[in-house]
Every structure is written in C-alpha cells, then in structure tokens.
Amino acid sequence: MGNCRSFSLPKWRLRELNNNGMVPIDEDGSGTHEGIKTIRIQKTCEFTTSSVLCVCIITWNMNGKLSVEDVRKLVSSNRRFDLLVVGLQEVPKCGVTQALQEAMADTHILLCQTAMQSLQMFLFGAKSSESYIREMKVDKHAVGGCGGVIGRKKGAVAMYINFSGIRMVFVSCHLAAHEHKVEKRNSECQHITHSLFSKNDIHYAKSADITVWLGDLNYRLQGISSIPARMMIEENLQSKLRDKDQLLQEAEKGEVFNGYCEGTLSFKPTYKYNVGSSNYDTSYKIRVPSWTDRILFKVDRSSGLDAILSSYEALDCVRSSDHKPVKAHLCLKVNGGDA
C-alpha cells in the first residue's frame, strides 16, 4: 500500500488551498512549444520521507474481450500506491467492473467510475482514502461522426479529483485510427482539451495541479514499413524507432501535448498483436507495430509539486487483446522537500 496513512501537505500549501488559490495550467508554453519532455525512470519512490501521493495509472484497449485472468494480471503487482486509475477502451458490455473490484478487494475500494459506451475509467483508493476526497467530478466528450454506431465511440472520459488538496484531472481517450489520420488525432486532442469540464464556466481542467492523459491515442510509426520495424524491435533498437513516432513528432511541432512529460519508450510497441500471443500481427495487413497506448502528464508549475516517474512499462503477460496494457507509477512530491 502507499502513503495514505501519513498523507499530508506542507503548511504553506494548505494555506494556499484554504484560500482557494486557483492557478491555471500554462497551456500555450508562454509563446513557445516544448514538445513532450522524455523523462528518465527513477526506480525507487521514497514513500516514507518526501512523497505526498503515489498514483498508479493503467491504460488498456481490451478489443471487446474480457479475460478475468488478465484483469488480475493488470493490477496484481506491488500495490504500494494510494490511488489506481484504470482507463479502458473497447470494453466489453459487462463484467469488467466486477472483475476489477474483485481483483482489488484486498487492498483498495472503488471510489469513482465513468463511461461513454466502450470507453471506461475507474478510480480505486486505499481503504482509508474516502475521507481525503474533497471534491470529485466526471465529464465526457465524443468526437467523430458515426463512431458510436457499433458501440465503440471515440472521444474521452475524464475525472476531476481534489484529493486532500491536490487537484488532479485524468483524461482517458480513444482517438482516430490509421496512420494517415494524424491531423484528425491532433484535432480531436484539441477539441477534448477545450471541451472537458468547460460547462457553466467551471474550468476544472484549467485549475489542476496535475493533468494526466492516458489511452489509445492511436499515433503510429511513420516512414518505416512493418518488416524493418519488427527487425529493429527484435534487436532491441527501440531508441531508433522513437524518432518515427508520430506523437513525439507532432508534439515537437507544437500541435499537441505542449509541455507534457512521458517516460522513455523503452518497451516494445504495444500494437498490433495476434490475440492470445505476444507475436505481432500476421494477418494479410501485417500492420506496422506502434506505440498507440500512452500515458502523459503535466504538473502545474505553480502547484509546488514535482512528479517522480518510478515506472513506465507495457505488460507483455496480458494476451487477450491485440493491444498490450501500459502502466505508469507517479509519485508526487513537494518541491524542495517538506521544508
């Protein structure tokens, strides 16, 4: 378990929050674009000293299939976290909520869930965590025309949580597919960003201390065919493939996710696999493997918080979908320690 038993913020931060200080996220980078900042993994998270809140984040496109065994694998590793956020895409019609609750029952309880057809997101907290919730809101935004006809609507679901004074927004999305639809994905990101939590002049998304995007963003590798890409993966040359990742390219141009952070893409591309295996697509399409499934985060510079990324990985052991789940572990800390 994580930090809930000793959860606290420094006195200066509590005074600021009690005064309702709301500082908007710097969305335009002060006239410049920073792209996505790749940050290194810090393997250890100092739970007992300077950490404030530890959050585990998981995204997974389930491909319409439920494997209870795979759901257990999704959440069965070391649970030294206070909050667990699970964003799912292409979710089957029933059974997922129960499977997750049963898998987490020993240590965590379901605090919140939200859905839009096959897009679902769940928030679990340690059993002592309910008393720390000051406010919680959910929202959703659909994109595209006929995306909901077959029950797999594109768009995003979102949660705003004020957890003991830390204001967090989690956005779980599923964006347009196919390599050539880069501009459509960019546009969808922008629409979602400006639409979520914007009703009735309540701009939760703009007052968050930390914003996390997770989901099947569907950005692909560009400028390389399938066989050369697979050979590089087999030789563990992911670093050379990262230069061909559309999401990093578009962020570098200032189109999306300006100033967000992401761990190094050191794991193998998470799509597309033969269902039931860890072998890439052998259908007639032999799709180019791609890092479609991502977790990105941005900390408000005025929040007084740092986010330490202690893991960013794909779960190869999960095989019931054509996507591999991606998991990140964020440890929020006070800038400069507790002084």
Provide φ and ψ at 132, rounded to 5°.
-90, -10
Q: How far is CA 330 from the centre of its chain?
A: 11
Tokens of 310: 């202690």
Q: Where are the domains of the chain?
A: 37-334
> What pLDDT is recorded for position 50?
57
Query: Average per-residue pLDDT in the chain?
Result: 87
Measured CA to CA, the distance from residue 95 to residue 69 in angstroms comes to: 13
Is domain 37-334 annotated with CATH 3.20.190.10? Answer: no
Instruction: Note the pLDDT tens digit of each residue in 117-126.
Output: 999 999 999 9
Who's near 256: CB < 8 A, 6+ residues apart?
185, 186, 189, 190, 247, 250
Q: Does residue 321 carry a pLDDT above 90? A: yes
Tokens 């206070």 belong to 82
Joined tokens for residue 45: 């998270």
CA distance 298 to 54: 15
Sorted by sequence, the CB contacts under 8 Å of residue 33 that are 6+ apart come out as 251, 252, 253, 254, 258
- Residue linked to tokens 């929202």: 139
Query: If you compute the radius of gyration of the chain from its CA atoms, what whole number of angstroms results?
Result: 19
Residue 5 has pLDDT above 60, yes or no: no
Report the predicted TM-score, pTM, of the whole model to 2 decimal places: 0.90
Q: Write the pLDDT tens digit of every residue in 176-227.
A: 999 999 999 999 999 999 999 987 666 666 789 999 999 999 999 999 999 9
The band of 82, judged by pLDDT with boundaries at 50, 70 and 90, is very high
